[in-house]
Amino acid sequence: MKITNVTTTALVIPGFRPIQDATIPPPKSNVGSRSGLFVHIHTDEGIQGLGFGSASPAIRATIEHHLKDLLIGEDPFEIEKLWEAMFWRVRGFGRKGIAFCATSSVDVALWDLKAKALGLPLYRLLGPYRDRVPVYGSGGWTNFSETELVAEQVGYVERGMRSVKMKVGKDFGHAEREDVCRLAAVRKAVGDDVEILIDANNGYYAKQAIYMAKEFEQYRVGWFEEPVLADDVEGLAAVARATSIPIATGEHEYTKFGFKDLITRGGADIVQPDVGRVGGITEWLKVAHLAHAFNLPVAPHAVALVHLHVACATPNIRIVELLGIEEQGYHAFFVDFPQPKDGFWSPYPDRPGLGVELNPDTVKKYSV
């Protein structure tokens, strides 16, 4: 089997509410969109791999102008070889950020293709540890009113999820009392038996985060995510030492080398690689194994339909995130996709690869 072409599809679907977290400025309007970039790897045997990631024009351009030529004519089963070729191609301008996101999307498509060629669901190709994983409902955006926040979080619980996540660090960390009040309102609404996770999206300084952690501890928080700037590893470690709440971070780390430093310097109690940023499935698995070597749990960030598969093959998985905004997009992008039930989530057991396909009507109507 040889790769004959690599193409991309970008979808932007209007009419959705925009979001805001601690370090996203206020939206300019109440009308937003849900978007996605999809990578198609074509072969001479007619089997096609599907990968997906962030719908940035720069990511799309990197795939089409810097990575595509490396892939055409190659054996798609040689994923490690192809990953290394892509890594060195973007060496000078992309060890982190956009170019790594492009590599990640292509790598996911290669794994989807390989699993399809072998007639296996991706999680079975990877070697399953389990066939279902716990899942949490994620949202709690800072531009939600307290009433909207509570309604969303309670909605996840009513769907059977026993863990939910909300944002803190509102207004770049300048709304401390409001952060506490919003957390208190959610705790009161969901009761004592539901785990609440909080995410500051880099919004506090280290001393401030330590102070806020003391405030948050009384609400039995399951983890405190990105309390400070993701690159402030010393700050993350200081917060981790000062609070009983586990510190979760990693969604803004792009390499296994960065994760090595993050873990060995004590910056993470829960490791959060993002398959769309860290180099795809190939590198995500290496990061998960690295975390396992340090006896740390993994809780991946976003990209739920890919993480569902890799999580099933990961012994040290803690839980998988289902972002509400991402789920909205999935309903439009795909013909169908597996649904969580009673707080757990399973891939389709009888569909090869990722088990999803783009909705042709959506592609026709919303392609950019």
CA-angle at 188, arms to 187 and 193, nearest 5°: 60
Amino acid 236: pLDDT: 98
* 300 close to 311: Cβ distance less than 8 angstroms: yes
Predicted local distance difference test score (pLDDT) of residue 94: 87
pLDDT of 30 above 90:
no
Whether residue 217 has pLDDT greater than 90:
yes
Quick: pLDDT tens for 65-82. 999 999 999 999 999 999
Whether 303 has a pLDDT exceeding 90, the answer reads yes
192 has a pLDDT exceeding 90: yes
Domain 125-345 of CATH type 3.20.20.120:
yes
Angle made by CA atoms 47, 107, 225, in degrees to the nearest 5: 135
Q: Which of 68, 301, 307, 309 is catalytic?
A: 301
Residue 174 falls in the annotated catalytic set: no
pLDDT in tens, 227-265: 999 999 999 999 999 999 999 999 999 999 999 999 999
Residue 142 has pLDDT above 90, yes or no: yes
Count CA atoms closer than 13 A to 256's CA, side-chain side.
14
pLDDT at 185 over 90: yes
Rounded CA gap, 85 and 105, in Å?
Answer: 15
DSSP 254-266: -SHHHHHHHHHTT
Told to judge if 42 belongs to the known catalytic residues of this protein, a careful annotator would answer: no
CA geometry: angle 62, 301, 190, nearest 5 deg: 150
Q: The domain 3-119+359-366: what is its CATH number?
A: 3.30.390.10
Mean pLDDT of 152-175: 98
As a whole number, the mean pLDDT across the chain is: 97
Question: Which region among 86-95, 240-249, 275-284 has the lowest average model confidence (pLDDT)?
Answer: 86-95
Of 116, 167, 170, 307, the catalytic one is: 167
Q: Which residues in 294-305 are b (16+ Cβ under 10 Å) and which e?
A: eebbbbbbbbbb
Angle between helix axes 176-190 and 146-158 (nearest 10 degrees) is: 30
Residue 95 pLDDT grade (very low, low, confident, very high; cuts 50, 70, 90): confident
- Judged against a pLDDT cut of 90, whether residue 344 lies above it is answered with yes
| Identity of the residue numbered 40 | H
Helix (H/G/I), strand (E/B), else coil: 121: strand
Domain ranges, ordered by start, for the chain: 3-119+359-366, 125-345
Structure confidence at residue 18 (pLDDT): 95
Question: Residue 249 pairs with which residues in a beta bridge?
Answer: 271
Amino acid (one-letter) located at 216: F
> Pick from 254, 139, 273: which is nearest to 199 by CA?
139
What average pLDDT does this structure show over 351-360? 98
